[in-house]
Amino acid sequence: MVGDVHGHVKPLLAELQERGLVDASGDWAAGETHLWFLGDFVDRGPDGIGVIDLVMRLDRQAAEAGGQVQTLLGNHEILLLGVHRFGGAEVPSDHGHRSFDRSWALNGGQQSDVDALTPEHIDWLVQRPAVAQAADHLLLHSDTLEYFEWGTTVEGINDAVRDTLAGHDLAEWWEVWRRMTTRYAFRGPDGPEVAALVLDRLGGSRIVHGHSVIADQLGVHPMDIEAPLLYAGGKVLGVDGGLFVGGPCLVVPLPWQE
Q: Report all structural domains of the chain as residue ranges with CATH numbers, in order of start.
A: 9-245 (3.60.21.10)
pLDDT at 95: 72
Cβ–Cβ < 8 Å for 99, 87 = yes
Q: Regarding beta strands 131-134 and 137-140, do their DSSP bridges make them parallel or antiparallel, or are they unpaired?
A: antiparallel
Measured in degrees and rounded to the nearest 5, phi and psi for residue 127 equal: -95, -5
Give the DSSP H or E segment for 237: strand 236-238
How would you label 19-29 residue by residue, b for 16+ Cβ within 10 Å and e otherwise?
A: bebbeeebebb
Cβ–Cβ < 8 Å for 218, 195 = no
pLDDT at 238: 98
pTM for the model = 0.96
Q: Regarding beta strands 236-238 and 229-231, do their DSSP bridges make them parallel or antiparallel, or are they unpaired?
A: antiparallel
Q: How far is the C-alpha of 32 from the C-alpha of 204, rounded, in Å?
A: 22
The CA-based angle 178-183-184, given to 5 degrees, is 160
pLDDT at 94: 67
Could you give the angle at which helices 170-181 and 75-86 cross, rounded to 10 degrees? 160
DSSP 52-84: HHHHHHHHHHHHHTT-EEEEPPPHHHHHHHHHH
**HSE (side-chain half, CA atoms, 13 Å) at 162:** 15
Phi-psi map region of 27: left, alpha, beta (phi>0 left; psi -120 to 50 alpha): beta
Q: How far is the C-alpha of 147 from the C-alpha of 152, rounded, in Å?
A: 8
Query: If the chain, 258 residues long, is cut into consecutive pieces of 10 residues, what is the mean pLDDT of each piece?
Result: 97 98 98 98 95 98 98 98 97 84 94 97 98 97 98 98 97 97 98 98 98 96 96 98 96 92
Helix, strand, coil tally for the chain in percent (to 5): 45, 10, 45
pLDDT at 257: 87
